[in-house]
Structure 1
Amino acid sequence: MISDLREELSTSDNYLGTFPIAFDNILDLVGPSIESGIYEDPEWATDLAIEVVRLYVGNLHEFVTGGKPQSHWAEAFALTKKCDRSPGRVLLGQIFAHLVVDFPYALENIGTNAGHTRDFYTFGTALVDATLTIVRDVKRTYGVDLHPLFTAWFLGDVIGDSQATTLLFQSTRTAALVNSFELQNPATRGATVAEIDALFRTSLFALDQMEKLGQI
């Protein structure tokens, strides 16, 4: 499904195709990793892969049919219509809609618990392993070189000033896991929903600053 979207959307004049490039490369690694037997709970890993695709495709469908995507995707998709924005900024806005917001809800939806922690971090390595092909394919299609940014991010180096520390990959995916646990607790759910939104807003602010500096 994602590969079909990539084939249809990922052209130099269509910024809506930026995220399918990244997602397709990641899923190309997730599938074989599940089949390889490295997960303690492969059914959980399969459910997570299906759920994150469902959330993205459902919101994309709403956007292209004139419906109402969830607010984080509505904002991310709106940038795909702005030809004056950097394709790198457009892509990263969607990546953070996926990682910061969709991921904790997807983990909640499939009943993730502390026993899945090891599998969760194993699942995340697909994004790291896909970095070079994502950078290559984005440059080929959209002419933007994200290699310095992606390399720094995935290695856990601080990018720019302190406002950009929320962009660190390790802390971002750890926050997704912790937030998924808190979402499942009625006593903390409300505060966690607000925290997820605040983290997403902070991430977008940092991305906008980086775009202004010509870093993305």
Structure 2
Amino acid sequence: MKFARTSARLLFAVLLSALPTAIAAPPFASATAANTIAQACGTPLAAAEIDHIVALSNVSTLPASPSLERLEDEVARHQEITEILVRHRDWRGLFSIGLDAVESTAVMPMQRDPDSFGDRDWAHALSSDLLRRYLVNLHAEFTGAPVDPHWAQYFTMSKQCDSPPAEVAMRGYNAHLTVDLAYAVAEAQTKQTHVADFYRIVDSIALQADTIIDRTRDVYSADLGPMWRFYVLGEGLDRLVGEDAGSEALLRAADSGYNTVTLAHGFALQDPRTAPMAETSIASLHESVGGAIGVLSDLGGL
């Protein structure tokens, strides 16, 4: 069984993100806690670099309302964070490097073009909220605060240096695209009139797939190509079913198109009558994709 071609679009939609709440940075409780924050796979970060990441990821210092100005600030901050992580080959940058690539080459050129969208305010709000969600979790990771469960898996694996780095990266994309994007769609109050703009963003990102793959390979020696082919062409899905990892949620997403499923989740989250079911479905799909990534990795697919 193969993933619908439209699934490629969402997978490359690795560029929008954000949470509307800020997490205050607690003081480090101990030297052990500080060392844990400083050390992932790669070389340790200096205290000044950690402080800088904490300041950059503090969303409470951003403009309160979604706007192009706020999005520009978020993207610039994330770029600085990515540069620090990449300099140390810190595995917490395995997702950031691809996100930064797609923001600079696909998302922001469209966001700055007044003719790109039917509703520019909505487009700015969607991309801003999605990026803020990741910044909030980066802030939590580097202050020792609780991280959202779907991001905790990624940050935990970034410290397990015997894991394939491509698998670690894909855990980040799973959190970003399966969970955060659905909630960003809801937060932006997406309507049917915004659907064309949604796919316009996703299509533009699909064109930058090679940039994500190349940058990740060049810096981290991690080949995302096999997993990209898994999403785009469905390669390996039959192997997952044979390993009892092809869950109903994953198969449904494959049939319908991953981006379409996530968009539907975002619509459902906006209605109190369907929101609880949507939350359950999002969690189930995130778990299914995570299981699939793990099995493919064990089978040598990453």
- Regarding TM over 0.5, the answer is yes
The counterpart of 2:110, out of the listed 33, 46, 58, is 33
- Whether the 8 Å contact between 1:12 and 1:142 is mirrored in structure 2 is no
Could you tell me which residue of structure 1 aligns to residue 48 of structure 2? none
Judged with a 3 Å threshold, the aligned counterparts in structure 2 of structure 1 residues 18 and 199 are, in CA distance, closer, same or farther, namely same
- Whether the 8 Å contact between 1:166 and 1:199 is mirrored in structure 2 is no
Could you tell me which residue of structure 1 aligns to residue 288 of structure 2? 202
2:260 partner letter: T
Q: CA RMSD in A?
A: 1.9
1:14 partner letter: D
3-state SS in 2 of match to 1:57: helix
3-state SS in 1 of match to 2:222: coil
Could you tell me which residue of structure 2 aligns to residue 181 of structure 1? 267
1:129 partner letter: L
Instruction: For residue 151 of structure 1, report the CA deviation from its aligned partner.
Output: 4.2
3-state SS in 2 of match to 1:10: helix
Instruction: For residue 115 of structure 1, report the CA deviation from its aligned partner.
Output: 1.0
Judged with a 3 Å threshold, the aligned counterparts in structure 2 of structure 1 residues 167 and 86 are, in CA distance, closer, same or farther, namely farther
Could you tell me which residue of structure 1 aligns to residue 135 of structure 2? 57
Give the TM-score, by structure 1 length. Answer: 0.92
- Whether the 8 Å contact between 2:253 and 2:261 is mirrored in structure 1 is no
3-state SS in 1 of match to 2:257: helix
Could you tell me which residue of structure 2 aligns to residue 23 of structure 1? 99
The answer to whether residue 113 in structure 2 is matched with residue 113 in structure 1 is no
- Whether the 8 Å contact between 1:51 and 1:106 is mirrored in structure 2 is yes
- Whether the 8 Å contact between 1:166 and 1:203 is mirrored in structure 2 is no
The answer to whether residue 175 in structure 2 is matched with residue 97 in structure 1 is yes
Relative to its length, the structure with more helix (as a share) is: 1
- Whether the 8 Å contact between 1:139 and 1:145 is mirrored in structure 2 is yes
Q: Where do 1:43-82 residues align within 5 Å?
A: 43-82=121-160
The counterpart of 1:150, out of the listed 220, 228, 238, is 228
Q: 2 CA distance for matches of 1:43 and 1:134?
A: 27
Identity of aligned residues (%): 28
Instruction: For residue 152 of structure 1, report the CA deviation from its aligned partner.
Output: 5.0
Instruction: For residue 127 of structure 1, report the CA deviation from its aligned partner.
Output: 2.9
Instruction: For residue 33 of structure 1, report the CA deviation from its aligned partner.
Output: 1.1
Instruction: For residue 87 of structure 1, report the CA deviation from its aligned partner.
Output: 0.8
Instruction: For residue 126 of structure 1, report the CA deviation from its aligned partner.
Output: 3.5
3-state SS in 2 of match to 1:15: coil
2:180 partner letter: D
The answer to whether residue 219 in structure 2 is matched with residue 141 in structure 1 is yes
Instruction: For residue 131 of structure 1, report the CA deviation from its aligned partner.
Output: 0.9
Q: 2 CA distance for matches of 1:42 and 1:74?
A: 33
1:175 partner letter: V
Judged with a 3 Å threshold, the aligned counterparts in structure 2 of structure 1 residues 106 and 100 are, in CA distance, closer, same or farther, namely same
Could you tell me which residue of structure 2 aligns to residue 212 of structure 1? 298
- Whether the 8 Å contact between 1:11 and 1:141 is mirrored in structure 2 is no
**Which of structures 1 and 2 has the bigger CA Rg?**
2
Instruction: For residue 167 of structure 1, report the CA deviation from its aligned partner.
Output: 7.6
- Whether the 8 Å contact between 2:89 and 2:219 is mirrored in structure 1 is no
- Whether the 8 Å contact between 1:99 and 1:172 is mirrored in structure 2 is no
Q: 2 CA distance for matches of 1:126 and 1:78?
A: 31
Judged with a 3 Å threshold, the aligned counterparts in structure 2 of structure 1 residues 168 and 83 are, in CA distance, closer, same or farther, namely farther
The counterpart of 1:8, out of the listed 57, 60, 84, is 84
Judged with a 3 Å threshold, the aligned counterparts in structure 2 of structure 1 residues 31 and 170 are, in CA distance, closer, same or farther, namely farther
In structure 1, runs of 5+ residues without a counterpart are: none
Give the TM-score, by structure 2 length. Answer: 0.67
Q: Describe the superposition over 1:63-104 as per-residue Cα deviations: whole angstroms up to 9, x where unpaired.
A: 111101111011221111110111100001000100000001
